[in-house]
Chains A and B, each alone.
Chain A
Amino acid sequence: MRVINLFKIAFKAIVLNKMRTLLTMLGIIIGVASVIAMLAIGEGSKESIRTTISSMGSNMITIRPGADMRGGVRGSASDMQTLKYEDYEAIKAQSTLLSYMTPVVNGSGQVINGSNNWPSTIYGVNPEYLKIKVVDLQSGSMFTEAEVKSAAKVALIGQTIVENVFPDGQDPVGQMIRFNNIPFKVIGVLEEKGENTFGQDQDDVVIAPYTTVQKRILAIDYLNQIMASAVSEDDAPDAVTEVTEIMRNQHKIGTDQEDNFSVRSMEELISTFSSTSEMLTILLVAVASISLLIGGIGIMNIMYVSVKERTKEIGLRMAVGGKGSDILLQFLIEAILISITGGLIGVILGLGSTVFIEKFLNWPTSVALYSIVISFAVCAITGIFFGWYPARKAAALDPITALRYE
């Protein structure tokens, strides 16, 4: 009953001073709205980075030759011939955490079809490559193990190649192309993947059996890299350790020697990117929090002035029987009502601007429930915290002095 009455009194005071209330709320509104919008942008970009990387195969592991030393001179990874097919076989036989695996050799050259030609890269792989890279076929089919064994001259091509080498719209499947003058039969077209995070065109590829590329194009017997995919994204770090162990054994590297290869998982890449965008989020939230804090100080400011301005009213309320605690509660409720109403409006405005950012600026956003809960809780606490001081000041007034105050 008593609290209900005090609520009525506080509500009345707020309604009677609409302009003052609105101005007080403004700080909180902007604070909450910006916290929500900023967090939505932060979360959104984090998620979009994650999906982009996932589309490249998030549980992918690559093994490259590296850090080879010959007489104190370090060689560049692409020149190195230390990664062999035997390594591939050893990993395949011993590892437990890998689901797919392929040797990779690659070389660049010119794709030619009649009078059309296009510079591109050919990747020599096995049929599991598509599963590792998470690529689907648009038409045709993948080559088989048998075709790998026989080093068949078959190839799959990406969309960029299709556009440039088959400009008149004919179906490339079944056609012949030449790569560095070696004829290949096109047996499939890869689905469009677009650019990856680094701006690399993932559709500008020719895929052929690694045996074919090794023997007929590059004339090499080593591998450029080995690609594999871990059983799951969570297993990727363990898989990296496991593969590293196998490779060290395979290359007979002593305990005090450096690896002459490198094993990387996408997980590392993801965490690098995530931590970057996390930092961005923290920065944005810090900025937004400051505006929320300023909003809180605004409440304190207005409540403080309001207590001064209404000293006589407080004196009267005390004279007709208002206790100190009644006065304290009244002003506290006022502050909390203002900040919570401001918080609600802020949440709506924040969600609205998030939709706006998504729709019109085309930024990826993602509203996290916790951002709403946190900003709302913060503004309620702000109301209590910054309302407390002026409210206590009001409650401590001496009724006689307050009544005489002009």
Chain B
Amino acid sequence: MTKAIIKIEDLKREFTMGNETVHALKGISYAINEGEFVTIMGSSGSGKSTMLNILGCLDQPSSGVYEIDGVKVKDLSKNELATIRNKKIGFIFQSYNLLAKTSAIENVELPLLYNSKVSTEERRERAIKALQMVGLGERLDHTPAQLSGGQQQRVAIARSLVNNPVILLADEATGNLDTRTSYEIMSLFQELNKQGITIAFVTHEPDIATFSSRTIVLKDGNIIKDYKNENIQSAKAELAKLPIEDH
């Protein structure tokens, strides 16, 4: 039987703004199994950012159950949340969030610096391996300024892989990239997924969803659609169809 990486039951999140209470998530339940590639879609205000923050253990639900890899997240302290982020989650952001003037390998090593069990040698080894996985084995010492947008996002993906997380959380990871580079990145995600890595990808672009195995659509804090994608597109094939640009 496949193992549930993420388990959410009747999850609610409320914010108090002045005297008004905003219900960002109004009782959501779903599970993500190991090896799934889920896109979470929704327009702005649908609650998908709140969802992502909770999934990423950056925020706590107001009520309901959230379990990641068998750990109940509710009632964990700030420090315990940080440890979970460090060990179980790989973040990928829209704006890459790489450290400027810092080499690719050092950027990738970053999460391991906060794990005192990893030695210096092991850290370096794992960072090199992660960069090779995203096809940047030759650019270990390049700083973000020396890399293109697509390459920077690859470094960010390598960084998210380096701690062997149970799930990758991508937040509009292709939002800053042109179509061609987006497809390249999506093809990389598909490859990683094929190797068994679970991915949750938050986006508002419908064509990105076609590359995933499952789509959850949020609206006004509720799930309005949750469906398996029967016809998964290959990002590689789509990439081949794009007209060749002349620079």
Write the residues of chain A forming the contact surface with B, with a CB cutoff of 8 angstroms: 1-2, 5, 8-9, 12, 16, 312-313, 315-326, 399-400, 403
Chain B: minimal CB distance from A217 (Å): 89
**CA distance in complex: A319, B91 (Å):** 7
A-B contact pairs, 26 of them (CB 8 A): A1-B116, A2-B116, A9-B113, A316-B93, A316-B97, A316-B99, A316-B110, A318-B58, A318-B82, A318-B85, A319-B56, A319-B97, A320-B85, A321-B85, A321-B111, A322-B82, A322-B114, A323-B79, A323-B114, A324-B78, A324-B79, A399-B58, A400-B53, A400-B58, A403-B93, A403-B97
- CB–CB B58/A5 < 8 A: no
- CB–CB A320/B53 < 8 A: no
Please report the total number of B residues contacting A with Cβ < 8 Å: 26
**CA distance in complex: A1, B58 (Å):** 25
B159: chain A residues within 8 A (beta carbon): 320
B114: chain A residues within 8 A (beta carbon): 5, 317, 320-323, 326
- CB–CB B82/A323 < 8 A: yes
Chain A: minimal CB distance from B232 (Å): 29
- CB–CB A321/B79 < 8 A: no
A321: chain B residues within 8 A (beta carbon): 82-83, 85-87, 111, 114-115, 163
Q: Does B67 contact A (CB under 8 A)?
A: no
Closest to A323 in B: B82
Q: Does B102 contact A (CB under 8 A)?
A: yes
B172: chain A residues within 8 A (beta carbon): none
- CB–CB B59/A400 < 8 A: yes
Chain B: minimal CB distance from A352 (Å): 33
B113: chain A residues within 8 A (beta carbon): 5, 8-9
B93: chain A residues within 8 A (beta carbon): 316, 403
**CA distance in complex: A316, B59 (Å):** 14
B86: chain A residues within 8 A (beta carbon): 320-322
- CB–CB A312/B102 < 8 A: no
- CB–CB B82/A12 < 8 A: no
Q: Does B194 contact A (CB under 8 A)?
A: no
Closest to A325 in B: B79
**CA distance in complex: A369, B112 (Å):** 44
Q: Among A1, A312, A316, A320, find the residue whose CB has the most chain B CB atoms closer than 10 A.
A: A320
Q: 0/1 per residue, B91-118, Cβ < 8 Å to A?
A: 1010001010110001000110111100
**CA distance in complex: A338, B34 (Å):** 47
A313: chain B residues within 8 A (beta carbon): 97, 99
- CB–CB A319/B79 < 8 A: no
A400: chain B residues within 8 A (beta carbon): 53, 58-59
What are the 8 closest A-B residue pairs judged by CB atoms, nearest first? A321-B86, A320-B111, A1-B116, A321-B114, A323-B82, A2-B116, A316-B97, A5-B113
Q: Among A12, A316, A324, A326, find the residue whose CB has the most chain B CB atoms closer than 10 A.
A: A316
**CA distance in complex: A165, B28 (Å):** 115
User: A5-B116, A16-B102, A320-B91 provided; 5 other pairs, C-beta below 8 A?
Assistant: A312-B97, A320-B111, A321-B82, A323-B78, A324-B79
A8: chain B residues within 8 A (beta carbon): 113
**CA distance in complex: A322, B91 (Å):** 13
**CA distance in complex: A13, B82 (Å):** 22
Chain A: minimal CB distance from B218 (Å): 18
**CA distance in complex: A399, B93 (Å):** 13
**CA distance in complex: A16, B101 (Å):** 7
Closest to A319 in B: B91
Closest to B80 in A: A323
**CA distance in complex: A16, B53 (Å):** 31
B111: chain A residues within 8 A (beta carbon): 320-321
Closest to B85 in A: A321
Closest to A17 in B: B101
- CB–CB A320/B102 < 8 A: no
Q: 0/1 per residue, B220-233, Cβ < 8 Å to A?
A: 00000000000000
Closest to A2 in B: B116
B106: chain A residues within 8 A (beta carbon): 12
Chain A: minimal CB distance from B244 (Å): 35
Closest to B87 in A: A321
Chain B: minimal CB distance from A4 (Å): 9
Closest to B78 in A: A324
* Given known A-B contacts A16-B102, A312-B97, A320 and B110 have beta carbons under 8 A apart: yes
A316: chain B residues within 8 A (beta carbon): 93, 97, 99, 110
